Amino acid sequence: LAISHGQIFNVGKKPDWVLEDARLNKAWDRQGWLNRKAALFSSWQIGTDFCYLETKHPSAIVARPPLRPEVMRMAVARKHVRGGGNPLVVSDAQVAQRMANLLLYGQEDINQDKVKPYESTLHRKVVLCYFRDHNGEMIIDALLQAGFDVLFFETGYNKKYGEDPNRFGVKWIVKEEDRLKLREEVQFDSGGMLQHRRMLQQDGQAEFHGEVVGLTMNQATPSQRRRLSAASVDATFVSTPRMIRVADRALFVPFMSIADGIVASAGSQLISECIYANVPLLALYRTNDDEQVLNVELSRQERVMRRKIPIYGASFENFHAAYPTKKSYVRRSNRTTSSAPKLQPSGAKIARSEFESFVDKVDESLVSNAYFQQQMPRTANETMAAWHNSTDWQNISEQAISNAEDDPFHDMPDAAAIILEIIKEVQKDAE
């Protein structure tokens, strides 16, 4: 049995929109060739994806994407908030505190005795970012210019690994700053990734680290009022959008439950999870990455058929063409004649349109607002007491998940059920 997302390009019939586009047709063929090699000697083939495709062979089928239980529970939690309910919380008190520290104070390790209680403040929308290839600096800059707080999940060193003495290979773990210093000394990098790291690891950059300043809603401009979620008239707010680094990727799904949007590399698993949980996603890819190009095009076709799917996508190259310099993104509401977009290639226009649609979707979200409202106006101890009295989304029952409405994959077969049927068939033949 061969099973993977990539098998859809081996066994799936090409949609007409692929056949009509020479670039996509070649990309599909290349991915099909790679996955045919992976399926050699297999009697059955299962491709998993977020959209249905007819297959070329009777031994093949396209199944719904596998979803982690914590993602399915997180989706129920988000729906609960979108319906006007109170935010649900994670069961692990330590995880809940780490999340609060990052969102409220901008750092994970903080002495609660030395910080002011989180007061009734205006806050910014929260966007999660993860980039497989260390190439997201221009996108992060545009998100900050849009007025969003960015939680950036870094790849590389994870301090959790170093704390586990039983983890295989732990002796080879090197702190990220030491590894980069060594790479720079031997001139290992040509400049791309190193420049990215330098920019994201500089402390105190005004554009990435804002200060909390006193400002009433009467003093805020109309555009500031729109971008900030009003919590009280006498509130203070973070004057500059923040880029908050997160080293532990185990926090990604908990943060998904309260995020207003995600910007990340265009992997099929994350696209599937965002479709399922109705999380706005801007999926980005390199133009030479065939699989991710096709993932975005497949999601775009799904969006045409199902308008509620909040998935947008563009190539890094077209995004950079649309926004060639830092601070080149300007919100539509703030544009003047001089800041209006100039004539650009069609790819850049598509990237601009997709990004602006994503920004609009994030603006509409009330998910993070529900989280921040739950935190106010409490001391750290009061926050944790409120946490103990809330509903834990990580313990949502299987029945609640199965009863959830609007499952976007409800009409697609489950891979596990298909495999069980294959096993029964093999057993029957053996008899």
pLDDT confidence of residue 213: 31
**How far is residue 39's CA from residue 12's CA, in Å, rounded to a whole number?**
13
**How far is residue 328's CA from residue 280's CA, in Å, rounded to a whole number?**
23
Percent above pLDDT 70 for the chain: 65
For residue 86, the 8-state DSSP code is P
Q: How far is CA 53 from the centre of its chain?
A: 25
Residue showing tokens 């997180």: 74
pLDDT at 252 over 50: yes
**DSSP H helical segments within 202-305, as ranges?**
222-227, 252-256, 268-277, 290-305
39-58 average pLDDT score: 93
β 149-153/126-130 pair status:
parallel
- Give the residue among 9, 13, 62 at the shortest CA–CA distance from 290: 9
Residue with the larger pLDDT of the pair 181 and 51: 51
**pTM, full prediction:** 0.75
Sign of torsion over alpha carbons 29, 30, 33, 34: negative
Confidence label for 373 from pLDDT (cuts 50, 70 and 90): confident
Please state the φ and ψ torsions of residue 311, each to the nearest 5 degrees.
Answer: -110, 130
How buried is 33 (Cβ within 10 angstroms: 0-12 exposed, 13-18 middle, 19+ buried)?
Answer: exposed
- Give the residue among 311, 371, 407 at the shortest CA–CA distance from 75: 407
pLDDT confidence of residue 77: 82
Type of residue found at 6:
G
Confidence label for 119 from pLDDT (cuts 50, 70 and 90): low
Tokens matching residue 113:
């005795």
63-84 average pLDDT score: 85
Radius of gyration of the chain (CA): 23
pLDDT at 134 over 80: no
Confidence label for 408 from pLDDT (cuts 50, 70 and 90): confident
25-38 average pLDDT score: 96
419-423 average pLDDT score: 93
pLDDT confidence of residue 88: 66
For the ranges 203-217, 221-235, 240-254, the maximum mean pLDDT occurs at 240-254
Picking from 9-23, 62-76, 122-136, 215-229, which range would have the lowest pLDDT averaged per residue?
215-229
**How far is residue 193's CA from residue 227's CA, in Å, rounded to a whole number?**
31
pLDDT at 157 over 70: no
Percent above pLDDT 90 for the chain: 37
Picking from 238-242, 307-311, 416-420, which range would have the lowest pLDDT averaged per residue?
238-242
pLDDT at 339 over 60: no
pLDDT confidence of residue 183: 54
Across the chain, what does the average pLDDT equal?
75
Picking from 67-71, 205-209, 248-252, which range would have the lowest pLDDT averaged per residue?
205-209
* DSSP of 398-426: HHHHHT-S--TTTTS--HHHHHHHHHHHH
Confidence label for 61 from pLDDT (cuts 50, 70 and 90): very high
